[in-house]
Amino acid sequence: MLPIRTRFAPSPTGFMHIGNLRSALFEYLIAKFLNGKFIIRIEDTDRSRYVAGSESVIYKTLKLAGIKHDEGPDIGGPYAPYVQSQRREIYLKYASEILSKGGAYYCFCEKEGHSAEGESHGYNRKCRILSQDEINQKLMKNVPYVIRQKMPLEGVSFFKDMVFGEISIKNEELEDQILIKSDGFPTYNFANVVDDHEMNITHVVRGSEYLSSTPKYNLLYDAFGWSIPNYIHLPLILGKNPDGTTSKLSKRNGSVSFQELVSQGFLPEAIVNFIALLGWNPKGEREFFTLEELEKEFTIDRIGKSPSVFDVKKLLWMNFEYMKSKSVENFVEIVENFISNGQSLKKNEIIKVLQGTNRLKLSKILHQRVEKLGDIPEKIDFLFEVKDFNFEIFYNKKSKTTPENVPKILLALIEITKKLKDWSYAGIRSIFSQVASEVGVKDAAVMWVARISVSGLAVTPGGAVEIFEIIGKDQTLQRLEAALQASKLKP
């Protein structure tokens, strides 16, 4: 049996969005599971859509995701070149071959342009019946032309997809598609078929948007007498539109590029894990897989048919789980790395805190409550500066804190804090109990007041003890004093 070969064939038109990555991932996994090769081919036949630098985005993305290719433009391989714009002679050669076999013809018609809805019934095949004389004449006069594939006018084409099963389409639905454009470049349809054949691709894996054009490709394979590859069409990934409907994932409906997700603080491995589960489902109830595990588990028969909606909320949860599973030390590294690459205004301060002796303490309170790295700066903002806050948050029914006892608590807290020598968790914890018994309230009441005084927030990562410990004795006292002064001004 031939070795399995799959390919990822992106166009260098900008960023990689999640749908692209998902295709790449599945293509990679299918190859790996079957001990095959995974190759990258750049499909840049549309010069007008080319975006400089796209290739490096593609390589970077794949690398971050952990997807390694066996052949490609950057690393070469036995079927080089792997960039379509460098393979033009090949397409031209095959174009003239199919022309001479009568499977295609010259077309001198003007560009069709976009016709109004419902009006278009496809190309009218006018040039299909041109005589050889007419053709020669026009060629001699340098009339611009394209080469079109001659489709059968009747009958039915059918093929088997490994995911969707048998699919049939009436040949009359098929248009005489263009193989070579007037600029001499091949269309995607043609280049794709030629290259997949030339590069011995055994399994063509792609999104299901290609399902309805697959018969056209098969007709091409037939015209050349090539064997048709296995098809694996992947269910689409849909995005939620602002109006609540769903449609193919695109920039418009909130889809983001892989890069963007990473820069928001999603872990690449979480993203990979998440998208692997979009349209594929392992046997059991397990949801967490490393790439290596996926390589061993991934089977084609567990790929679904129905499209799935990309739900960021679940990604958020998965990311959260990944972060929680890290050791605190590991988490620190990830955070430091993320912050130093980021644009946060507080970047320097945060790094300082993280790199100081408090890094572990801070990470401990953070890594159980941060869904994505990008949320960290706003969560720990208060460590650097206490913003003005509404005093109402001091008064809490459950803690039994009132306008009467808050100043008392604060006063006692300041006195006792001043005397504290042992600035450790245990030491700090003990002062709250002392204050509590002195004032005659519960520990919880003291801690409530303390925490809000030094943070200005009703909700903080970490409790009073942790925050005291991190900001240090001087800052703590300074903030407690400020809170006391402010509380006196309140009616």
Partner RNA sequence: GGCUCGUUGGUCAAGCGGUUAAGACACUGGCCUCUCACGCCGGUAUCGCGGGUUCGAUUCCCGCACGAGUCACCA
Over its C-alpha atoms, the chain yields an Rg (Å, rounded) of 32
Site for RNA in 356-385 (CB under 7 A): 368-369
Active-site annotation holder among 93, 160, 251, 324: 251
How is 118-137 classified by DSSP, letter by letter? TT------GGGG--HHHHHH
Q: By CB under 7 A, is residue 421 in contact with RNA?
A: no
Relative to beta strand 308-309, strand 237-240 is parallel
Among 67, 465, 471, 483, binds RNA (CB under 7 A): 465
Among 78, 102, 155, 165, binds RNA (CB under 7 A): 165
CB of 245 closer than 8 Å to CB of 255 = no
Query: What tokens appear for 77 in the block?
Result: 């391989």
Among 136, 137, 247, 290, binds RNA (CB under 7 A): 247
Burial 329-348 (b: 16+ CB within 10 A, else e): eebbebbbebbeebebebee
> Which CB, 290 or 325, lies closer to RNA?
325
> Which CB, 44 or 71, lies closer to RNA?
44
Q: By CB under 7 A, is residue 254 in contact with RNA?
A: no
Beta-carbon contacts of residue 433 (< 8 Å; ≥ 6 apart): 443, 446
* Stretch binding RNA (CB under 7 A), from 134-142, 181-189, 222-230, 292-300: 181-189
Taking residues 318 to 347 in sequence order and writing x for each that binds RNA by CB under 7 A, - otherwise, the string is ------x-----------------------
The minimum distance between CB 120 and RNA, in angstroms, equals 5
The minimum distance between CB 343 and RNA, in angstroms, equals 25
Among 120, 330, 437, 485, binds RNA (CB under 7 A): 120
Site for RNA in 55-94 (CB under 7 A): none
The minimum distance between CB 144 and RNA, in angstroms, equals 6
The answer to whether residue 419 is catalytic is: no
Q: How far apart, in whole angstroms, are the C-alpha atoms of residue 407 and residue 483?
A: 9
> Which CB, 347 or 391, lies closer to RNA?
391
- Reduced to 3 states (helix: H, G, I; strand: E, B; else coil), residue 291 is helix
Element (DSSP H or E) covering residue 425: helix 425-439
Q: By CB under 7 A, is residue 170 in contact with RNA?
A: yes
- CA distances 437 to 402, 404, 408, 445, Å, are 17, 16, 12, 11
Query: What tokens appear for 378 in the block?
Result: 């706003």
The minimum distance between CB 284 and RNA, in angstroms, equals 8
Give 109's DSSP letter.
P
The minimum distance between CB 181 and RNA, in angstroms, equals 4
- Reduced to 3 states (helix: H, G, I; strand: E, B; else coil), residue 332 is helix
Helix-helix angle 464-489:359-366, to 10 degrees: 80
CB of 80 closer than 8 Å to CB of 42 = no
Site for RNA in 430-449 (CB under 7 A): 443-444, 447-448
The sheet carrying 308-309 orders its strands as: 246-248, 237-240, 308-309
Q: How far apart, in whole angstroms, are the C-alpha atoms of residue 142 and residue 99?
A: 18
Query: What tokens appear for 357 in the block?
Result: 């002796």
> Which CB, 247 or 348, lies closer to RNA?
247
Site for RNA in 299-318 (CB under 7 A): 302, 304-309, 311, 313-314, 316-317
The minimum distance between CB 268 and RNA, in angstroms, equals 19
Q: How far apart, in whole angstroms, are the C-alpha atoms of residue 415 and residue 454?
A: 16
Among 130, 277, 351, 477, binds RNA (CB under 7 A): 277
Site for RNA in 387-406 (CB under 7 A): 399
Relative to beta strand 104-107, strand 230-234 is unpaired
Among 5, 6, 11, 36, binds RNA (CB under 7 A): 11
Q: By CB under 7 A, is residue 229 in contact with RNA?
A: no
The minimum distance between CB 50 and RNA, in angstroms, equals 10
- For the chain, helix, strand, coil in percent to 5 are 50, 10, 35
* Stretch binding RNA (CB under 7 A), from 66-74, 223-231, 280-288, 476-484: 280-288
Taking residues 98 to 117 in sequence order and writing x for each that binds RNA by CB under 7 A, - otherwise, the string is -----------xxxx----x
Among 278, 350, 409, 435, binds RNA (CB under 7 A): 278
- Specify burial of residue 171 (Cβ count, 10 A radius: 0-12, 13-18, 19+): middle
> Which CB, 399 or 475, lies closer to RNA?
399
Hey, which residues are catalytic here?
251
